[in-house]
Amino acid sequence: QGLGKTLQTISLLGYMKHYRNIPGPHMVLVPKSTLHNWMNEFKRWVPTLRAVCLIGDKDQRAAFVRDVLLPGEWDVCVTSYEMLIKEKSVFKKFNWRYLVIDEAHRIKNEKSKLSEIVREFKTTNRLLLTGTPLQNNLHELWALLNFLLPDVFNSSEDFDSWFDTNNCLGDQKLVERLHMVLRPFLLRRIKADVEKSLPPKKEVKIYVGLSKMQREWYTRILMKDIDILNSAGKLDKMRLLNILMQLRKCCNHPYLFDGAEPGPPYTTDMHLVTNSGKMVVLDKLLPKLKEQGSRVLIFSQMTRVLDILEDYCMWRNYEYCRLDGQTPHDERQASINAYNEPGSSKFVFMLSTRAGGLGINLATADVVILYDSDWNPQVDLQAMDRAHRIGQTKTVRVFRFITDNTVEERIVERAEMKLRLDSIVIQQGKLVDQNLNKLGKDEMLQMIRHGATHVFASKESEITDEDIDHILERGAKKTAEMNEKLSKMGESSLRNFTMDTESSVYNFEGEDYREKQKMAFTEWIEPPKRERKANYAVDAYFREALRVSEPKAPKAPRPPKQPNVQDFQFFPPRLFELLEKEILYYRKTIGYKVPRNPDLPNAAQAQKEEQLKIDEAEPLNDEELEEKEKLLTQGFTNWNKRDFNQFIKANEKWGRDDIENIAREVEGKTPEEVIEYSAVFWERCNELQDIEKIMAQIERGEARIQRRISIKKALDTKV
């Protein structure tokens, strides 16, 4: 969080070398994304400490171990968690003077692979660094203390009983006891302790409306599950989470759904902006920020949103960098350096919230836009701290986009209450009850219901042609009102996640649904009348676009030892005839009766035909059995679902003809294997179950590539 953990650690290791005559060997274990930053800081602050960095593929690592590590001409080895796990046998050979673990919450689970490996190393001293507040879970705290001092903290049961939170949660004795135990082992810093001159950060929530297209999709998603909305359907947690996810996608941009974007041909122009309320505001906000000389970080949970933002930035001629979970390590650092270098022309840096959340210094930006909000408020705070950190000279402005009268409002409210509760509890020195953070089914249902009636009430766009200054003014006013409301809330309301003392989140449109659920439901959330039929006959297109699967009929039995063959492995078609024959005969031997499927128009006839196939089935003869075994060797047997998904994504990213780059993206496969697979894929891809969806995905990516090329050509001709 820009608290100087890196600098303090380097100073300590420098002190050990120059004042205590202990140069090393030391190990510094860090997240992959911060490796370069650590190496740069070693060079910058204590260049006399010989720091080396272990990273790379198997061959590069072997050469590094042989030529650098084992000869021992170094003081500090910096590496990532993944590399440590792969090269643990080499690292076990050393007697480490200091083992430093950055982002130490990575070992809070003492049973994880990483935790077990670091405990096996021979070390004189151990140092843990974390910028994440301990999640106030005693067992996690014990895991960290057990790593530091295994002899003292050897039993988690003793530790848990010593701090029995059930008996004395909030008891002053517990607090004093905890502080007394922690004091010798914990050095705690907040920004205000370290840097007195850091300008404050200012957050403004910007409330946006839904566009006409968003409203249509939001209504469709709710209509798909109108039974849930009215408590008629079974409250399945995964189903609720799925609805929440779809609604959040809709709030971000309707083009996240297959079939929403007009085309082909796909074009990048004003429709990219006008079809999303957030994009309309962004399109008004960015020119104003550019004019003021600000530079902007944009965070989103969804990498597909970053794809849309990339197209938008190219269209509007904003220079940008991008970083998400898929960005290779070298590219990450190159992007960060390009953005931070003096006089950089890069205006926007777009990041996925989780990938860009830790250890990245982008203090050359002074505006943070949270395009959407994380369930966990700590994640959003860490995102803001990419800019609001020591070294920042300007006031950091944070703009949080929230879609009015939708699920997003409730998500943000809940996160704010959680933050407020945590701060009250930690100030009192108490421990936060972890169960409070879990999202229950009822609470998810209330979030989904929030604003449903409002969305159903009209089909028109809610986006107004309002001046950006008015939008910001209104946002600042609403933010201040919410902060005031929160500051007045007591601990009990916060624990119940209730915003007003007299009404809870269960109160929707003025009615308490907790009471209503106890009675049989008598009043419904009215779906829009004319479209009611959509509730009964949603075609496959929407079922796919909204990713909601229907309850499936029980599967008919299969022979127990039949091989698992996948369509993407492209076995000869004859194999499937033989396997089908085998299945039918197996069903005959067990006396299987085909059930009638009431969903089919001619159910009785279909049932009769299927049963006849089983009754007349014959076993495979010796020749056919031999043929089957031979055919089983003729598919791409060493390609699994992961390989296939990587291949499809690579085609989307690079276009089907760029086989060289596609081959690089498929891990564990040689270029020759990928070339061979690609040739068969394009010849036989129509045999795949999901071919329409797969082709849409690839063609969308290829259209994006074409768009970039045409934009670049247009720019080149202008230049």
pLDDT single digits (tens) 280-322: 999 999 999 999 888 999 999 888 899 999 999 999 999 999 9
**Pair 373, 411: CB distance under 8 Å:** yes
CATH code assigned at 663: 1.10.10.60
- Tokens 């959340």 map to which residue? 357
Whether residue 555 is contained in a domain is answered as no
Confidence of residue 151 (pLDDT cuts 50, 70, 90): confident
Q: Is the pLDDT of residue 645 over 70?
A: yes
Q: Which residues contact 276 (CB under 8 A, 6 or more apart)?
A: 211, 214, 252, 253, 254, 255
Q: Which tokens belong to 1?
A: 């969080």
> Which of 599, 631, 663 is the C-terminal boundary of a domain?
631
Examine residue 562 and state whether it is found in any structural domain, yes or no. Answer: no
Does residue 144 carry a pLDDT above 90? no
pLDDT of residue 43: 92
User: How would residue 184 be classed by pLDDT, with cut points 50, 70 and 90?
Assistant: confident
**Does residue 217 surpass a pLDDT of 80?**
yes
pLDDT at 656 over 80: yes
pLDDT tier for residue 53 given thresholds of 50, 70 and 90? very high
| Distance between start and end Cα atoms, the chain | 41
Q: Is the pLDDT of residue 622 over 90?
A: no
**Which CATH number characterizes residue 88's domain?**
3.40.50.10810
| Statement: residue 525 has pLDDT above 70 | no
In the predicted model, what is the mean pLDDT of residues 71-81?
91
According to the model, what pLDDT value does residue 536 have?
Answer: 23
Average pLDDT value over all residues in the chain: 77
Element (H, E) at 495: helix 491-495
Asked if residue 108 belongs to a domain, the reply is yes
Query: What pLDDT score was predicted for residue 5?
Result: 84
Query: In this structure, are strands 507-508 and 511-512 parallel, antiparallel, or unpaired?
Result: antiparallel
Position 708 scores a pLDDT of 82
Evaluate if residue 364 carries a pLDDT over 90: no
User: Could you tell me the residue range of the domain that residue 713 belongs to?
Assistant: 641-718
Residues 77 and 217 in one domain: no
Residues 389 and 448 in one domain: yes
Same domain, yes or no: 586 and 675: no
Confidence of residue 220 (pLDDT cuts 50, 70, 90): confident
pLDDT of 505 > 50? The answer is: no
Helix extents (H) in 58-109: 58-64, 81-86, 88-91
- 117 and 22 inside one domain: yes
Highest mean pLDDT among 179-193, 251-265, 385-399, 411-425: 251-265
**Out of 167-171, 234-238, 673-677, which region has the weakest mean confidence (pLDDT)?**
167-171
| Predicted pLDDT of residue 545 | 33
Same structural domain, 503 and 357: yes
Residues with Cβ < 8 Å from 486, sequence gap 6 or more?
A: 416, 417, 420
pLDDT at 275: 92
| Domain-located, residue 527 | no
- Are residues 353 and 368 both part of a single domain? yes
Residue with tokens 């006089």: 343
Q: Which of 600, 631, 662 is the last residue in one of the domains? A: 631
CATH of the domain at 298: 3.40.50.300
Mean pLDDT of 675-681: 90
Cα gap 378→539, rounded to integer Å? 40
Q: Is residue 565 part of a domain?
A: no
Per-residue confidence band for 396, with pLDDT thresholds at 50, 70 and 90:
confident
Provide the total of helices (H) and of strands (E) in the chain, helices listed first: 33, 13
pLDDT in tens, 78-128: 999 888 888 888 899 999 999 999 887 777 777 778 878 888 888 899 998
Q: What is the largest CA-CA distance in the chain?
A: 90
Residue 190: per-residue pLDDT: 64
Instruction: Show the CA angle centred on residue 320, arms to residues 665 and 340, nearest 5°.
Output: 100
Whether residue 518 is predicted with pLDDT greater than 60 in this model: the reply is no
What is the pLDDT, as a whole number, of residue 27? 94
Residue 580 host element (H or E): helix 573-589
What pLDDT is stored for residue 513 in this prediction? 35
With a CB cutoff of 8 Å and minimum separation 6, the contacts of 545 are 257, 258, 259, 260
108 versus 359: the higher-pLDDT residue is 108
SS (H, E, C) 162-217: HCCHHHHCCCHHHHHHHHHHHCCCCCCCCHHHHCCCCCCEEEEEEEECCCHHHHHH
Kindly state whether residue 70 falls inside one of the protein's structural domains.
Answer: yes
Of residues 467 and 609, more confidence is placed in: 609
Mean pLDDT (whole number) for 360-377:
85
Indicate whether 674 and 577 sit together in one domain.
Answer: no
pLDDT above 70 as % of the chain:
76
What pLDDT is attached to residue 532? 30
Across residues 544-557, what is the average pLDDT? 45
CB proximity list for 249: less than 8 A, separation 6 or greater: 256, 257, 302
Name the band, by pLDDT with cuts 50, 70 and 90, for residue 612. very high
pLDDT at 400: 92
Check whether residue 361 and residue 329 sit in a common domain: yes
Residue 497: pLDDT band (50, 70, 90) is very low
| Same domain (yes/no): 326, 272 | yes
**Could you tell me if 124 and 226 lie in one domain?**
no
Where does residue 95 rank: exposed (0-12), middle (13-18), buried (19+ CB within 10 A)?
A: exposed
- Looking at the fold, whether 592 and 703 belong to one and the same domain comes out as no
For the chain, how many structural domains are there in total?
4
Mean pLDDT of 548-566: 62
Please report whether residue 358 resides in a domain: yes
- pLDDT confidence band for 328 (50 / 70 / 90): confident
pLDDT class of 454 with cuts at 50, 70, 90 = low
CATH code of 610's domain:
1.10.1040.30
**372 contacts 408 by C-beta, under 8 angstroms:** yes
Tell the residue number behind the tokens 């698992």, with chain if given. 564
Residues 371, 478 within the same domain = yes
Point out the domain boundary residue: 483, 518, 553. Answer: 518
Instruction: Kindly state the average pLDDT of the residues 367-390.
Output: 81
3-class DSSP assignment, residue 15: helix
Residue 607 domain-assigned (yes or no): yes
pLDDT at residue 430, as a whole number: 46
- Of the pLDDT bands very low, low, confident and very high (cuts 50, 70, 90), residue 234 is low
Distance CA 474, CA 479 (A): 9
